Amino acid sequence: MSVLGGLRIVKADQNFRNQPAPPPAPLSLSDPELVRAALGGSERAVRTLVERYQRGVLSIVGRIVLNREDAEDVAQESFVKAFTKLDTFDPAYKFSNWLFKIAHNTALDALRRRGAPTVSLESDSEGEPGETFATLADPRATAPDDAAAMAEFRGDVERALGKLRPEFRTAIVLRHLEGRAYEDIAEIMDLPLGTVKTFLFRARRELAVLLEQHRGT
């Protein structure tokens, strides 16, 4: 199922009905400009926003729900939710953070419907902000140059990620795969900055243990 299927809401939502079609939205427009164009009825603006962020949304939800078909459904649901309430977006904030927060919450809701546990948001210790998980930030730091070995290493990392709690996975994906700042992650996950740092610290530590266990087998 294509995430672009969510574009059907442009025709179905009442906000877009009975309005003259605006000119096409140039691809170079900023996110707030595209949002304004989408609210004005531009299907191209909606398509551009989806194409701009569908990889990031799929990356986040895919590593939470751990099922490709479910991930595509959740990603589409996330875009539908976002465009249904697009008029609530505050351009003073980053559109990507707003969208990723919707995707994150939608994926967690999908897990809860399946009865999967999620981690408590209470933290009992503070992580070290300076800690890094070098193999995620740059797999070349520890993996051989051989392409097959690199692919195997990345597979090991993906399997280890799958064993983490959903919120830990989200934090790792946002920080190391999407390159998001701590402040962005806190906004997306709706958590205090200190909790985000704790999640990342624990997630890196658990990943290191899981990868070490795998190497020892």
The predicted-structure confidence for 36-61, as pLDDT tens digits, reads as follows 999 999 999 999 999 999 999 999 99
Rounded average pLDDT over 128-155: 53
- pLDDT confidence tier of residue 27, bands split at 50, 70 and 90: low
- What single string gives the DSSP state of each residue in 73-89? HHHHHHHHHHHHTGGG-
The predicted-structure confidence for 78-126, as pLDDT tens digits, reads as follows 999 999 999 999 999 999 999 999 999 999 999 888 876 554 333 333 3
Mean pLDDT of the residues in the chain: 78
Distance between first and last Cα of the chain: 37
Q: Is the CB of residue 143 less than 8 Å from the CB of residue 135?
A: yes
Q: Which domains, and CATH codes, for the chain? A: 3-113 (1.10.1740.10), 134-215 (1.10.10.10)
> Is the pLDDT score of 127 beyond 90?
no
C-alpha angle with apex 171: 170 to 173, nearest 5 degrees?
65
* pLDDT score recorded for residue 146: 64
Cα–Cα distances (Å) from 197 to 108, 167, 177, 181, 185, in that order, read: 20, 12, 16, 11, 10
Q: Identify which has the larger pLDDT, 69 or 151.
A: 69
